[in-house]
Amino acid sequence: MEDGFQNRLLINMAHPGIIIKASLADTSVIADILGEAFYNDPIVCYAAGRPGLARHLFAAEFRHLYARLGCSFYIRNEQEQMIGCALWAKPGQRLDPSLLAQLNIAWAVFKFAGLGALQRGLALDAFLKGNHPQEPHCYLHAIGVKSTCRGQGVGSRLMAHGVKMADHEQVPAYLENSNELNLPLYQKYGFEVIEKKNTPNGGPPIWLMRRPLQVTNPVNNTAS
């Protein structure tokens, strides 16, 4: 079912590029895209105490967790450039990495920003996990577009692909939004604010958002 879904999207979404499932070999470019997109992100900067952590954090998270989940993807344009990406988890996929993976992610934070950042990051991680819905759902961990390609519909393409995945799984979708300016994009694709919360220890606000289960016609997988 998953392969058929992926193949349909590759065929039907031909402009401004193609959507491709990300693999471990894509770690560096995933980190570059998200590192740029989240460079000044309020939550990431709060955890680190300064800008610049995002690339190191997302490289470690993708390498040690999201790559093996197998449902993150990127857009490649006609010039063979990767111009946007999104990290997702599907229902039933554990978001708790192995002990070794946890140590590698923690080391990436500590090496860049020190012990205080690691402590804030651990508190933030526990806070976010504690607010995850208990119901089965697709989870959008991060989405980003290269600065030179913004305003071209790349973010919308990424969102459309993700919510189609949730519809295919017949489950709600969930995300945490750290930037109020992004609310309209998520709302355009059916996400609703559940609650606005302040992050631990005086951190910036975050918007918890849920997209309800969409009733769709059964997917015909005979051609997949």
38 domain-assigned: yes
224 domain-assigned: no
37 domain-assigned: yes
What would the mean pLDDT of 70-75 be, rounded to a whole number? 96
Q: What percentage of residues in the chain have a pLDDT greater than 70?
A: 89
* pLDDT score for 96: 80
223 domain-assigned: no
- Extended strands (E) in the chain: 17-21, 73-77, 82-89, 138-145, 173-177, 192-198, 205-211
Residue carrying the six token digits 């190191």: 56
Spatial contact of 9 and 21, defined as CB atoms under 8 Å apart: no
* pLDDT score for 94: 82
156 domain-assigned: yes
Residue 16 has pLDDT above 70, yes or no: no
* pLDDT score for 215: 76
pLDDT digits (tens, 9 = 90+) for 98-131: 888 889 999 999 999 899 999 999 999 999 999 9
Q: What is the CATH number of the domain that holds 6?
A: 3.40.630.30
DSSP letter (8 states) at residue 114: -
Residue carrying the six token digits 């010039």: 79
d(CA 217, CA 224): 17
d(CA 124, CA 183): 21
97 domain-assigned: yes
Half-sphere exposure at residue 96, Cβ-oriented, CA atoms within 13 angstroms:
6
Range of the structural domain that residue 197 is part of: 2-211
pLDDT band at 17 (very low <50, low <70, confident <90, very high): confident
* pLDDT score for 1: 35
Q: What percentage of residues in the chain have a pLDDT greater than 90?
A: 73
Residue 4 has pLDDT above 60, yes or no: no
* pLDDT score for 50: 87
183 domain-assigned: yes
Three-class secondary structure of residue 132 per DSSP: coil
Q: How many structural domains does the chain have?
A: 1
* pLDDT score for 20: 95
* pLDDT score for 219: 47
How crowded is residue 45: how many other Cβ atoms within 10 Å of its Cβ? Answer: 19
DSSP letter (8 states) at residue 52: T
119 domain-assigned: yes
Residue 7 has pLDDT above 70, yes or no: no
Q: Which residues contact 115 (CB under 8 A, 6 or more apart)?
A: none
What would the mean pLDDT of 39-49 be, rounded to a whole number? 92
Spatial contact of 175 and 139, defined as CB atoms under 8 Å apart: yes
Residue 217 has pLDDT above 70, yes or no: no
Terminus-to-terminus CA distance in the chain, angstroms?
A: 7
Query: What predicted TM-score, i.e. pTM, was given to this entire model?
Result: 0.86
Residue carrying the six token digits 């990767």: 82
d(CA 211, CA 193): 9
Residue carrying the six token digits 């499932």: 21
